[in-house]
Amino acid sequence: MRKRGDIFPSGTSDDAEFLFTRRRVILAAAGFGLSAGLPAPAVMAEERILRIGYLFAKESHLGAGTTAFGNEVATRTGGRYRIEAYPNGTLGGEVEMVEELQRGNLDIAFLTNAPFGNIIPELGLFDLPFLIRDAAHAHKLFDGPLGREYLAKFPSKGLVGLAWGENGMRHITNSKHPVTSLADLKGLKLRVPQSDVMIAGFSALGVDAKPLAFPALYSALQAGQFDGQENPMAVIVASHFERVQKYLTLTGHVYSWAVIVVSRHLWETLSESDRQAFVEAAVIGGQVSRDRAGEAERSGVDQVRQQGMQVTTSIDRAPFEQAMAPTMAQFAQKYGQDIFDRVRAVQ
């Protein structure tokens, strides 16, 4: 019989599910002996294996955060839980992973902001280009009262947000020409995440913006379906977009947060002490992802420049912000002007 927390890949037969499920036994008594006369162990603890999915490579910032999270969970629960990681979108795109979490078919995921504007609409606020100034602004925002308020919105959607991590400040790449001004964006075919807010925001900037799940992005750029895309430096570097994109502009137009989120189906099976352990582990994993994203932001530009990309290091933000003003006003009505004011007041 299936138990919550067992591993069941979607779309497999019962036999395959049984083979894919693994339960390990840990001998709690040290020095278990096989010779006659030696006592048997007094306690046997069952190791529970939990799956976590994320979109990027194991070596990425989210991969580093996931590894740290898994190590901390194992340590803080005395080895009773083992986190088994599935990188590179192995378990699907982020929309699919959210759906699997909600169904209880996936235990944990380390997700970027991309799918949440359509799942927890209030989070779409942060997808608006040029709302958040920089990563330091974002850290104070998400680590403060407003960040805690937004984590509290996850359970109503069948999810539990444990802690914020980081994808990074998003920048624009393309294969057509340097983007040095607002005029250079006009008509550019740009892939954006599956976020209605980001589509609206980039449309206001004159971009031909279309959504596409990340796992299909590289091949779409390679085939010329899009002129460009936008992502943090950590993703641009890890995904080798320099092979299919010629120009990089450091626009820093959106702060892409990330979150370690568990299924409510799993959460309801955890004791209070285990819940606390998972939260503490997630805070550490989230910070590791921030550290790695920051490192990539600093070193990634030189790396892709050496690999042939032409880099525009700064833009005049004022024309972009002016072009966004009507859309900002529209979304201020939707989300509430008070929230916009609170975001901008964070120093």
Share of the chain above pLDDT 90, in %: 80
Task: Name all domains of the chain by residue range, CATH numbers in brackets.
Answer: 14-29+44-345 (3.40.190.170)
Give pairs for 82-85: CB < 8 Å, separation 24+. 82/24, 82/47, 82/48, 82/49, 82/50, 83/50, 83/52, 83/108, 84/7, 84/49, 84/50, 84/51, 84/52, 85/52, 85/53, 85/54, 85/58
Residue 30 has pLDDT above 80, yes or no: no
- pLDDT above 90: residue 290: yes
Give pLDDT tens digits for 219-241.
Answer: 999 999 999 999 999 899 989 99
Phi, psi at residue 218, to the nearest 5°?
A: -55, -50
HSE (side-chain half, CA atoms, 13 Å) at 217: 31
Helix (H) or strand (E) holding 306: helix 272-306
Specify the pLDDT at position 195: 84
Nearest CA to 115 out of 155, 147, 157 is that of: 157
* CA proximity to 280, closest of 69, 79, 106, 110: 69
Nearest to 18 by CA among 39, 33, 3: 3
pLDDT of residue 149: 96
* Per-residue tokens: 230: 């936008």
- Sequence-separated (6 or more) residues with CB below 8 Å from residue 184: 177, 178
Bridge partners, 248 (sequence order): 173, 311
> pTM of the prediction?
0.81
Q: Calculate the average pLDDT of the chain.
A: 88
Mean pLDDT of 64-77: 98
Instruction: Fill in the DSSP letter of residue 308.
Output: T
Three-state DSSP state, 199? helix
What whole-number distance in Å separates Cα of residue 336 and Cα of residue 125?
Answer: 10
Three-class SS of residue 258?
A: strand
45 band by pLDDT with thresholds 50, 70 and 90: low
**How far apart (Å, rounded) are the C-alpha atoms in residues 8 and 223?**
34
State percent of the chain over pLDDT 70: 87
pLDDT at 11 over 60: no
Q: Are 83 and 106 in contact (CB under 8 A)?
A: no
Residues 152-210: tens digit of each pLDDT: 999 999 999 999 999 999 999 999 999 999 999 999 999 998 888 899 999 999 999 99
Helix, strand, coil % in the chain, rounded to nearest 5: 45, 20, 35
* Residue 114 binned pLDDT confidence (cut-offs 50, 70, 90): confident
